[in-house]
Structure formats: structure tokens, C-alpha cells
Amino acid sequence: MSVRHDIDAERELWDAYAASALKGDAEASFCWTQYAGHGPGVELLGEPRSVLEIGCGTGRALAYLARRGVAARGVDLSPVMVKATTAKWAGSGAEFVCSEVLEYLGEHEDTYDAVYSIFGAAWFTDPGRLFPLVRRRLTPGGVFVFSQPPAIPGAYGPQGMYKGGFAGKAMYTYRYSYRPAVWERLLTRAGFATACARILDAPHPGHIGTLLVHAVAP
């Protein structure tokens, strides 16, 4: 099943999110999960010389990598967010680009040692279209890593998602949710040599875990 994304409407949604997401005192940091200090870190990327973050949001992870000597570029749909992150992380070495991720990956020929998404574009983009494009943008042996909430049992495939509450202007997007084995199958079908998807338990029993997916290009 595929859905038609209204990119202009989604850009408006993420612009609204950007207005409140980037705090002035935010520090550069890298965390795959929604719980600070929990789970693995940048080691999942290997030792990349270059990275691309898709749906880079507040830019904190990208700035963290750039300050450690990695050529770090991020793509985000929201011009408001990109303007804010470019100003916030000026001098870090990170580069922020405003673009729709499928268009960017399809139109640009640059390759990267790692492509990653932290609750970002890998959650909100049709994997049947996204994964082959990511594969083509990776260097041989490069890695694709992404994290997001795990699927709610019984709710798989594209899921409609309101943002900003349930009153007022209807602002929504689509997210994609599958069992770990299905994510692995989608990645290998897209040409990845290996793929491993798992759910990392939350630090507190009964809390929402994190889907963590790691794939390697041939």
C-alpha cells in the first residue's frame, strides 16, 4: 500500500514544529533513542569520513559529528528549521540543506560512508522509494542506520499521524511501521548486503522501546 504525500502541507507542518523544537541552550549530542544517555552511540556508524542525516531536525546529532571531524551534511524539509540550525550550529562544520529527501537523493550524486535517521525521514518516507535511493548514495560497505518508535502491534504499513493536537487546523503526515523482520526484508530487497532490525527496550519497564535498524551496502 502506498499513500500520496502532500509535500507542501508536510512542509507547513514541519515549519510549525521547528518554531518550538530548537531551544537556544541545546547542546550538540548524539542519541539513537528517545531517552537521553540510553542505548548505543555513534559506534553504529562505524568510522565514517562523511555522513548524511535525512530529516536532520534540530541538527544536534549532525553538529556532534561535525565537531569530531566528520564531513556532516543534513537534509530537512522545513526551511524554518534549516535556517535555524544553520545559525545555531554555525562554526561546527555541519551543513544543512533544505530539500524533500527523495528529491535530494535522486538528484544529487554525492556518496557517503553513512546515511542515518533519528526519528527522522526514515520514519516518514515510503521505504519502497527511500531505501533504493539511500543504497545508491552509500560508498561500498557504507552503512544505513535509523531509529524510530516500534510499530504498535497489529498496526503495520503507512499510518496517518496528526501533529500539533486534535483541535484546530488539520496538520498531518504519514509514518511507516513494520515488524523488525519486514524492515530487514525491505532493505535486502533494496540491495543491501545485510540488515538487522531489533527493538531496544526502554530504560524503564513498560515504557515505549526504540526500533533500531542497521544495514550495510555491498
pLDDT digits (tens, 9 = 90+) for 74-104: 999 999 999 999 999 999 999 999 999 999 9
SS3 category, 71 = strand
Answer yes or no: are the C-beta atoms of 93 and 85 closer than 8 Å: no
Q: Is 168 left (phi over 0), alpha (psi -120 to 50) or beta?
A: left
Check if the beta carbon of residue 95 is closer than 8 Å to that of residue 88: no
Q: Give which of 206, 199, 196, 194 is closest to 177, Cα–Cα.
A: 199
171-190 tens-digit pLDDT: 788 899 999 999 999 999 99
C-alpha to C-alpha distance for 37 and 34, rounded to whole angstroms = 9
Domains and CATH numbers, the chain: 7-18+29-216 (3.40.50.150)
For residue 50, the tally of other CB atoms under 10 A from its CB is 17
**Lowest model confidence (mean pLDDT) among 17-31, 102-116, 137-151:** 17-31
Split at pLDDT 50, 70, 90, the class of 24 is: low
Burial of 4 (0-12, 13-18, 19+ CB in 10 A): exposed
The pTM of this model reads 0.92
Position 144 confidence tier, pLDDT thresholds 50, 70, 90:
very high
